[in-house]
């Protein structure tokens, strides 16, 4: 079995963990929109830096930290799912659709927890 080394998302660079999360132009666009949604004034960073940021700055039980971690986890899950859908089914979604789906997922899962509802009311929008 031959494996295509090129990233199925952007089709321009070789695939690796650090490329997929988030040096890839496609996954970086999705994470950048989610960062904008969360009011984080920064761009997507390399995998190791994103992990360090999540562990050091978003590790608490506050609503902002909880939603941040949910958004990051959900983004990773959706990008992996998108990659597999392109590879195995040849289907590709628009970046804006992926962003909306992730936001809906985080939003509705978050609404199940009472302590998150006030913060989520401020996140009841899609980033432009």
Judged by the rule CB under 5 A, the positions of this chain that interact with Zn ion are 7, 9-10, 24
Place of tokens 């986890």: 73
7 vs 106 by CB, closer to Zn ion: 7
Q: How far is the CB of 18 from Zn ion (least distance, A)?
A: 11
Closest by CA to 66, choosing from 100, 38, 32, is 38
Minimum gap (Å) between residue 19 Cβ and Zn ion? 6
Least Å distance, CB 29 to Zn ion, is: 11
Q: How many CB atoms lie within 10 A of CB 20?
A: 21
β-partners of residue 14 are 6
Nearer to Zn ion among residue 10 and residue 76 (C-beta)? 10
């Amino acid at each position: 079995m031959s494996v295509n080394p090129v990233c199925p998302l952007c089709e321009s660079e070789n695939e690796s963990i650090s490329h997929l999360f988030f040096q890839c132009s496609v996954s970086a666009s999705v994470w950048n929109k989610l960062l904008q949604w969360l009011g984080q004034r920064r761009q997507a960073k390399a995998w190791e830096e994103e992990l360090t940021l999540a562990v050091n700055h978003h590790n608490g039980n506050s609503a902002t930290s909880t939603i941040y971690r949910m958004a990051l986890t959900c983004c990773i899950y959706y990008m992996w799912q998108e990659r597999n859908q392109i590879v195995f089914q040849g289907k590709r979604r628009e970046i804006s659709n992926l962003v909306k789906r992730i936001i809906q997922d985080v939003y509705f899962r978050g609404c199940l927890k009472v302590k998150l509802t006030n913060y989520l009311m401020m996140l009841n929008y899609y980033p432009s």
